[in-house]
Amino acid sequence: MVIVTHDSEATLRRCVEAVLAQSEVALEVCIVDNASSRDPAEALIGLDRCTLVHHARNLGFSVACNRGAADCAAEWLLFLNPDCFLEPGQLARLIDIAIRIPQLGVLGAQLLNEDGSPQAASLRQAPRARQFLPWVERTPLWTQPVEACPDEAVRVEAISGALMLMRATAFRSVGGLDEGYRLHCEDLDLCKRLQLAGQAVACATAVRVTHVKGTSSRRRPIWVEWQKHRGMWRYFGKFERAQSPAWLVIVVALGIALRFPLAAVRAWLEGF
């Protein structure tokens, strides 16, 4: 299991304690610290079965995930945000569901807000060229969720990077996460590459996990928005640009560029 942390001391211990309570599964927990202002070891005092890896500077979510995965010898990898809280038995249930999905690449769960409402990013559509255009929208269409499904699990085009379960062989078969992303869109990229490789992306809608969004990103809202928009452009360049007409490439570039200052100001104001 890999948990990437950056100034997440408010939730890290609760997250790790919930992980270690998954008694049905043999665990090795690798926590990768992306240059937190406070040593996360303080939040982990007294907790065993944890390895803490420090980065001297914030190298980004993808780099940290890949580093943590390289240090794990387990068959299954679970990438978990430090603000996600598993209830007892949920990891065993996720693995049980994953085993029964043919050619599974990655499995997510139904993420919930603290008030119990579902998070739309749990079940997502992959971005397409035309969906980068409505840059004036608060939430671009490329994050538009698919309809929730009452089944135990449903195949989707993309899931949230806050919780991703996959076999280590599947992760390594596509080269891990693309380290060209610093924060945001790397999960969409991974799902796309897995699908292009013939592997399934699914969400275990029967498994519900509380996710307290943005515990560390609230401290740097403008930087986070910048990375998000960089990620949009990188994703478009990798998967959509080649088959898009020149006019559309120009419009998408302008749309993303013009959307950034609006989104940055909005995020900064929401921080007050």
Q: What is the CATH number of the domain that holds 43?
A: 3.90.550.10
Residues 139 and 226 in one domain: no
Residues 164 and 245 in one domain: no
254 and 205 in a single domain? The answer is: no
Task: Answer yes or no: do 18 and 64 share one domain.
Answer: yes
Question: What integer pLDDT is reported at residue 149 of this predicted model?
Answer: 62
Q: Name the residue among 191, 216, 223 with its Cα closest to residue 15.
A: 216
Q: Show which of 175, 195, 213 is a domain's final residue.
A: 213
Q: Among 213, 241, 257, which residue terminates a domain?
A: 213
Can you give the pLDDT at residue 147?
A: 59
Q: What is the pLDDT of residue 136?
A: 39
CA dihedral 14, 60, 77, 128 (to 10 degrees): 110
The pLDDT assigned to 129 comes to 66
In order along its 272 residues, the chain shows pLDDT tens digits of 999 999 998 999 999 999 999 988 878 899 999 999 899 998 999 888 899 999 999 999 999 999 999 988 899 999 999 999 999 999 999 999 999 999 999 999 999 999 999 998 899 888 876 655 544 344 444 455 555 565 689 999 999 999 999 999 999 999 999 999 999 999 999 999 999 999 999 999 999 999 997 666 667 888 889 999 999 999 999 999 999 999 989 988 988 888 888 888 887 887 65
So what's the pLDDT on residue 135? 43
Domain identity same for 195 and 252:
no
Look at residue 128 in the predicted model and tell me its pLDDT. 74
In this structure, the answer to whether residues 135 and 257 fall within a common structural domain is no
pLDDT attached to residue 214: 65
- What is the domain range of residue 37? 2-213
**Amino acid in the structure at residue 87:** E
Residues 222, 261 contacting (CB under 8 angstroms): no
Strand partners, 209: 111
Residues 201 and 70 in one domain: yes
Structure tokens at 141: 């269409």
3-state helix, strand, coil in the chain (%, to 5): 40, 20, 40
End position of a domain, from candidates 213, 241, 259: 213
Looking at the fold, whether 208 and 230 belong to one and the same domain comes out as no
Asked whether residue 15 falls in the same domain as residue 120, the answer is: yes
Residue 252 and residue 184 in one domain: no
What per-residue confidence (pLDDT) applies to 139? 47
According to DSSP, the β-strands at 50-55 and 29-34 are parallel
Residue 130: what pLDDT?
A: 61
What is the predicted pLDDT for the residue at 269? 80
Q: Same structural domain for residues 148 and 191?
A: yes
For the beta carbon of residue 88, count every other beta carbon within 10 angstroms.
11
CA distance 257 to 76: 39
Pairing label, strands 2-5, 29-34: parallel
6 & 99 share domain: yes
Number of domains in the chain: 2
pLDDT of residue 233: 93
List the structure tokens of 137. 């929208």
What is the per-residue pLDDT for 178? Answer: 98
pLDDT at 258: 86
